[in-house]
Amino acid sequence: MSSAAAVIDVQHLSKTFLTPLALRKVRAVQDVSFRVSRGQIFGFLGPNGAGKTTTIKVLTNLIRPSSGKVSVLGGSPSDLHVRLKTGFLPEMPNFYDYLSAREFLDIMARFYGLGGRTRRKRVDEMLELVGMTYAAKRKLRKFSKGMLQRIGIAQALIGDPELVILDEPMSGLDPIGRKEVRDIIASLKQKGRTVFFSSHILSDIEMICDEVVVLNRGRNVAAGPLDSLLHPGRVMSEIVAQGPGDVEALPGKAVSMEGKPGFLRLQCSPDEVDSTIQTLMQRGFHIKSVTEARMSLEDLIVSKAFQEDSRDD
Ligand SMILES: Nc1ncnc2c1ncn2[C@@H]1O[C@H](COP(=O)(O)OP(=O)(O)OP(=O)(O)O)[C@@H](O)[C@H]1O
Ligand SMILES: [Mg+2]
C-alpha cells in the first residue's frame, strides 16, 4: 500500500522522555512502524507501559516525536485541517466538570463549526448514541467513570470525523457499555470512517478489528491482519479431562486446572487426539471436552513478549 492511501502512516517512530534533570531516559517508543488504511478498524494492543498512549499522543499532536515520520490524513498531526477531521478520546479525559453533558457537547460542536439547529440536533444524536440522553442536564462532575467515558466518546464523534482515535475506549465500561462501544465502532466503519483504538480487552479487539499492531516495551512485536496472527500455522486440540491420575505421568503438557481439583487440560495436535484420549481413559480419566484451541491475542502477546525478553538477555 502506498503511503498516500494510508490514513495513518507511522515510520520508525521513537519517543524518549527525559526525567527531571535529565537523570534518566525513558525510551517509551522505539522504532515503531505501521500503516492504517482508510475504512479500517485498527487495534493497538500491548501491556501497561508498552507505549500506546505515547504513540497516540504523537498522532494527536500532544507531543512531538524524538525521531521518525508520522503522517495523519496525509498531513502533519499539527495541521489544523487534520485536527478538525480527527476525533479523539484521550486516555484520561479531563472535561470541564462544572458543565452539563449537553453544554459540554455543545461547546465541542461549536469547535467543529456546527451552528444553530444542526448543532443542537447533533448534540442530541450523540447523547442518544452513547445512551446519555437521560443525564443530559447533569453536571459532568456528578458523572460516574463509565458515564464520563461515554461522554468522551460522544465528543470524539461530534464533528463527524474521518478518523477516530480512541485511547482505551472500553475502559471503565460495564459489559453492556463495551458492547455498545463495539457497535458504535462497527457502525463508524460502515460509514467509511477509520477507527484506531487501543484496548487491553483482547476479546473486544478480536471481535471487531481488521488489523492490529502489538507493542511491548515500546517496540513493535507483531502486526497484521488478525487471522494471520491468530493462526500462525498451528491449530491445536485441547482436551479437558477429570480423574484421579497423576498429571506428571501423562503425555504432552498436561496442566491441572486452577480452582477445579481433579481437572486437567492437555493440548495436542489434531491427529494425536484419538491416541491421547485412549491413554487418558486407560489411566482412569473421564473426557470432559475436546475443542480446537485457537491461539488468543493474549497467548500472542505473552509469546512475543517472551521472545523479546530472551533476546534482551
Ligand atoms: N511524560 C512522560 N515522562 C516520562 N516517562 C513517560 C511519560 N509518558 C510516558 N512515559 C513512560 O513511557 C512508557 C510508555 O507509556 P505509555 O503511557 O505510552 O504506555 P501505554 O502502553 O499507554 O500503557 P497503559 O496500557 O498502561 O496505558 C512508560 O514506561 C511510561 O512510564
Ligand atoms: Mg495508555
Residue 209: CATH number of its domain: 3.40.50.300
Q: Give the pLDDT of residue 301.
A: 66
Q: Give the pLDDT of residue 309.
A: 55
Confidence check: pLDDT of 307 > 60 = no
- When mean pLDDT is compared across 110-124, 201-215, 231-245, 284-298, the lowest value belongs to 231-245
Within a domain: 171: yes
**Residues 198 and 244 occupy one common structural domain:** no
Helix (H, G, I), strand (E, B) or coil at 25: strand
Confidence check: pLDDT of 186 > 80 = yes
Q: Give the pLDDT of residue 313.
A: 45
Q: For the chain, what is the mean pLDDT?
A: 86
| 313 C-alpha to ligand 2 centroid (Å) | 26
Q: For atom 7 of ligand 1, which residue has the closest CA?
A: 17
Domain closes at, from 228, 244, 278: 228
**Residues 74 and 102 occupy one common structural domain:** yes
* Better pLDDT: 270 or 60: 60
Q: Give the pLDDT of residue 3.
A: 45
| 9 C-alpha to ligand 1 centroid (Å) | 21
Q: What gap in Å lies between CA 83 and CA 60, rounded to an integer?
A: 7
User: Which ligand is nearest the CA of 29, by number?
Assistant: 1
Average confidence (pLDDT) over 162-186: 90
**Residues 109 and 59 occupy one common structural domain:** yes
Average confidence (pLDDT) over 21-41: 91
What order of strands is seen across the sheet that includes strand 6-18? 25-37, 6-18, 67-72
Within a domain: 93: yes
Within a domain: 49: yes
Residues lying with their CB under 5 A of ligand 2, a single-atom ion: 52-53, 91
| 161 C-alpha to ligand 2 centroid (Å) | 22
Residue 140 has a CB neighbour count (10 Å cut-off) of 19
Domain count, the chain: 2
Within a domain: 195: yes
Domain closes at, from 207, 228, 249: 228
Q: Give the pLDDT of residue 1.
A: 46
Average confidence (pLDDT) over 139-153: 91
Q: What gap in Å lies between CA 157 and CA 131, rounded to an integer?
A: 14
What order of strands is seen across the sheet that includes strand 219-225? 86-89, 163-167, 194-198, 41-45, 211-216, 219-225
pLDDT, one tens digit per residue, over 66-90 is 999 999 999 999 999 999 999 999 9
Q: How confident is the model at residue 274 (pLDDT cuts 50, 70, 90)?
A: very high
Within a domain: 32: yes
| 219 C-alpha to ligand 1 centroid (Å) | 13
Per-residue cell: 7: 490514513
Q: Give the pLDDT of residue 270.
A: 79
Q: What gap in Å lies between CA 24 and CA 279, rounded to an integer?
A: 57
| 56 C-alpha to ligand 1 centroid (Å) | 11
**Which residue range is the domain that position 268 belongs to?**
236-293
The radius of gyration computed from the CA coordinates of the chain, to the nearest angstrom, equals: 23
**Residues 216 and 288 occupy one common structural domain:** no
In percent, the amount of the chain with pLDDT more than 90 equals: 49
Which of 31, 37, 34, 36 lies closest to 16, judged by CA?
A: 31
Q: For atom 3 of ligand 1, which residue has the closest CA?
A: 17
**Residues 107 and 240 occupy one common structural domain:** no
Q: For atom 29 of ligand 1, which residue has the closest CA?
A: 49
Confidence check: pLDDT of 250 > 50 = yes
**Residues 37 and 133 occupy one common structural domain:** yes
Helix (H, G, I), strand (E, B) or coil at 303: helix
Q: Give the pLDDT of residue 95.
A: 80
Within a domain: 48: yes
| 53 C-alpha to ligand 2 centroid (Å) | 4
Per-residue cell: 225: 491482519
Q: Give the pLDDT of residue 61.
A: 95
- When mean pLDDT is compared across 37-41, 59-63, 161-165, 205-209, the lowest value belongs to 205-209
Average confidence (pLDDT) over 280-285: 86
**Residues 140 and 263 occupy one common structural domain:** no
Average confidence (pLDDT) over 131-143: 94
Q: For atom 8 of ligand 1, which residue has the closest CA?
A: 54
Q: For atom 4 of ligand 1, which residue has the closest CA?
A: 17
Mutating to test ligand 1, I would choose from 27, 52, 167 the residue with most ligand atoms within 8 A of its C-beta, which is 52
